[in-house]
Amino acid sequence: MSQQKILIIPGDGIGAEVTEWGKQALQAIGEIFGHRFTFDYALLGHAAIEATGSPLPEETLAKARESAAILFGAIGHPKYDNDPSAKVRPEQGLLGLRKALGLYCNIRPIQLFDELIGASSLKPEVLRGADILFFRELTGDVYFGQPRGRTEDGLTAYDTMIYSKYEVERIACKAFEAARLRRKKVHSVDKANVLDSSRLWRETVNEVAKDYPDVALHHMFIDTAAMALIKDPRQFDVVLTGNLFGDILTDEASQIAGSMGMLASASIGDSTGFYEPIHGSAPDIAGKGIANPMASILSAGMLLSYAFGLHAEAAAIQKAVALTLKQGWRTGDIADGNTPADRILGTAEIGKKIVENIIQVTQAVAA
Ligand code: NAD
């Protein structure tokens, strides 16, 4: 493979701590498989506001556009969470970059590593075998709809929930394509009994489904889906939904995987793809060296697969994380009452174990 430029955007809080290990995993893969990855860095969010005054500096946008893929950490700072009136905010950087790159399709695998079955708050018999692939629309809906704002007296606020047919079509096609390679089932989640935007969503998904007669389509209301996800997660294969509902459902689904620290995602669309953990900047643990880097490392795996088509390399990352868990190593967020204290590691220690295991699993394949 020719030289590939990967942009690292650590962002805020634990972003830098975990992204370092996603990068080291990519470096290890590059060395083992003979790929030439080069890395550059850029600012986003609070870190960018502090340095430049803007949550999305021009330089970041330019670097993003000329990179083959982006490995991102997280943005967010308590300063803004506690001050809803702040006009310049870290999340504007993330939403702006997703919009500028046309990243309309967020793909979130929810898979449970067998070793973590005890780390979830759900019962093992409910969880075992759960394997869900979420397709969340990312550049539309109430997060971007206009008009939005407040009335002059400040006593009323409003947002606009809006979808156009083409926005639903393009992500629905991706979800059906993915379902074809899996268990051939799509659950489309909306609120078509109440919302006009959801009625258009449902109508459009039904039209797209005609091109995929081999895939079973089910519709579910968001309230039912929120309940069904923890009652019987195994019924789901591919879940297709909008920006707001997807935001909420995927965080809920993180409990199936045991922790936010385990879940990776890919955001793809018209240009450079974006690979990131689903968690935020976790200010409660930032700087303590205890964040779980696995979501970032698994995001690096998705980057290899979706950006470069390097599926064997992505599988090696997946196997290395599974092996590390099998060896009993944990970070605090995925430890349970049975985890011996000396098996609970910090970010760097478990990051090193995973990188060592990348080498081990690839040697095992080559032998
Ligand atoms: P969060 O995901 O940052 O944290 C939720 C909980 O999960 C915390 O207890 C945290 O310690 C824990 N956690 C998260 N990631 C972890 C990891 N890798 N290892 C161990 N524990 C982990 O969500 P929050 O607290 O609601 O938000 C914090 C900030 O992050 C806010 O400013 C929010 O706006 C922002 N945020 C950013 C993104 C993003 O950048 N994509 C996503 C969600 C939230």
Residues 47-100: tens digit of each pLDDT: 999 999 999 999 999 999 999 999 999 999 999 988 878 889 999 999 899 989
Q: Note if 158 is an active site residue.
A: no
What pLDDT does 114 receive? 86
How many angstroms separate the alpha carbon of residue 259 from the centre of ligand 1?
A: 11
Four-CA torsion 60, 63, 68, 72, nearest 10 degrees: -20
Q: Is the pLDDT of residue 149 over 70?
A: yes
What pLDDT does 257 receive? 81
Q: Is the pLDDT of residue 162 over 70?
A: yes
What pLDDT does 364 receive? 67
| pTM of the entire predicted model | 0.90
- Tokens 């009993």 sit on residue: 328
For the CA of 11, the closest atom of ligand 1 is 40
C-beta separation of 309 from 252 below 8 A? no
Q: Do domains 1-119+260-367 and 121-257 have the same CATH topology?
A: yes
As a whole-number percent, the residues of the chain with pLDDT over 90 amount to 83
CB of 17 shorter than 6 A to ligand 1: no
**For the chain, what is the total number of helices (H) and then of strands (E)?**
13, 12
CB of 152 shorter than 6 A to ligand 1: no
Q: What is the side-by-side strand order in the sheet with 238-241?
A: 37-41, 4-11, 69-74, 273-277, 264-268, 105-111, 131-137, 238-241, 185-190, 216-221
How many angstroms separate the alpha carbon of residue 281 from the centre of ligand 1?
A: 5
C-beta separation of 264 from 277 below 8 A? yes
Confidence category of residue 118, pLDDT binned at 50, 70, 90? confident
Topology, domain 1-119+260-367: Isopropylmalate Dehydrogenase (3.40.718)
User: CATH second-level architecture of 121-257?
Assistant: 3-Layer(aba) Sandwich (3.40)
Report the SS3 class of residue 138: coil
C-beta separation of 137 from 246 below 8 A? yes
Confidence category of residue 232, pLDDT binned at 50, 70, 90? very high
As a whole-number percent, the residues of the chain with pLDDT over 70 amount to 98
Average pLDDT over residues 123-147: 93
CA pair distance 263, 116, nearest whole angstrom: 13
Compute the chain's Rg from CA coordinates.
20
What residue segments make up the domains of the chain, in order of their start? 1-119+260-367, 121-257
